[in-house]
Amino acid sequence: MRLKDKVAIITGAANGIGLAAAEVFAREGAKVALADFNEQQGIESTNLLKEKGYDVAFFQVNVAERESVNSMVSDVLETFGRIDILVNNAGITKDGMLSKLSVEDFQKVIDVNLTGVFHCTQAVLPAMVEQGKGKIISTSSVSGVYGNVGQTNYAATKAGVIGMTKTWAKELGRKGINVNAVAPGFIETGMTAKVPDKILDQMKMMVPLGRLGIPEDIANAYLFLASEESNYVNGTVLHVDGGIMM
């Protein structure tokens, strides 16, 4: 098992990529804290994993609020005793063309996708520094690298995640903490389920592999960066996009 006895916090773990990652990590021996804003869905997903025999627990959190994040991290430490891995996976979209994008929608995405990553990372830092070891993985996006029409707010946050990742990698490397990011491409999630088939076909045509990714593709990237196999990987952005932006 690649994560035997490790304790991992995964934000946005109630569904989609976060839930896939929680199951992959648990299967590899980790004790997993599923952290999510949606309490009902989070509890349901956690119970499903418990039924499979995994050592998991749910923690309700609003990553945009520091007090909520501090409380979640404190509860995880009380439950599991340590924190070895943080996956900053929680994120939202509120797309709109620049000319029509409201200040409220711009700020909400910043609060969750960017400030939330800052809150969670800073909150787990004391525990990791005391241990002298840790893995921090944040979710960026190809939109944060190349931009995307109608995603001023989302692209800004995902570009910001890359900047923070590289900064923290330089600050924390000598403390035994590896900091990396994953940049997913088009992934089949609840969001893409609402996209018309014609648009999905166009998206697939843009990908050299000829298909959209699945949540497990991203979860497996998280797993590599969380495992001992990536101990000399620091400050990188791992693209998992089927080659869409070569």
Mean pLDDT of 136-141: 98
Give tens-digit pLDDT for 36-94.
999 999 999 999 999 999 999 999 999 999 999 999 999 999 999 999 999 999 999 99
Average pLDDT over residues 126-133: 98
Report the Cα 111 to chain-centroid distance in Å: 15
d(CA 14, CA 37): 8
Backbone φ/ψ region at 100: left (φ over 0), alpha (ψ -120 to 50), beta: alpha
- Give the residue among 136, 132, 125 at the shortest CA–CA distance from 225: 136
3-state class (DSSP) for residue 51:
helix
Q: Is 54 among the catalytic positions?
A: no
Q: Looking at 12-143, which runs of residues are DSSP E strands?
A: 31-36, 56-60, 85-88, 134-139
pLDDT score recorded for residue 185: 94
196: tokens are 């018309």
What whole-number percentage of the chain has pLDDT above 90?
Answer: 91
Catalytic option among 54, 154, 222, 232? 154
User: Which structural domains are found in the chain, ordered by start?
Assistant: 7-186+214-240 (3.40.50.720)
pLDDT at residue 19, rounded to an integer: 98
- CA distance linking residue 16 with residue 139, whole number of Å: 13
What's the chain's average pLDDT? 96
Residues pairing with 238 in the sheet: 182
User: Distance between CA atoms of 242 and 229, rounded to whole angstroms?
Assistant: 22
Counting runs of H as helices and runs of E as strands, what totals does the chain give? 9, 7
Per residue in 174-231, pLDDT (tens digit) is 999 999 999 999 999 876 777 788 878 888 998 999 999 999 999 999 999 999 999 9
**DSSP H or E run through 11:** strand 7-11
What value, to the nearest 5°, has the Cα angle with vertex 116 and ends 112 and 119?
160
pLDDT at 196: 82
Q: pTM for the complete prediction?
A: 0.97
For residue 177, the cross-strand partners are 134
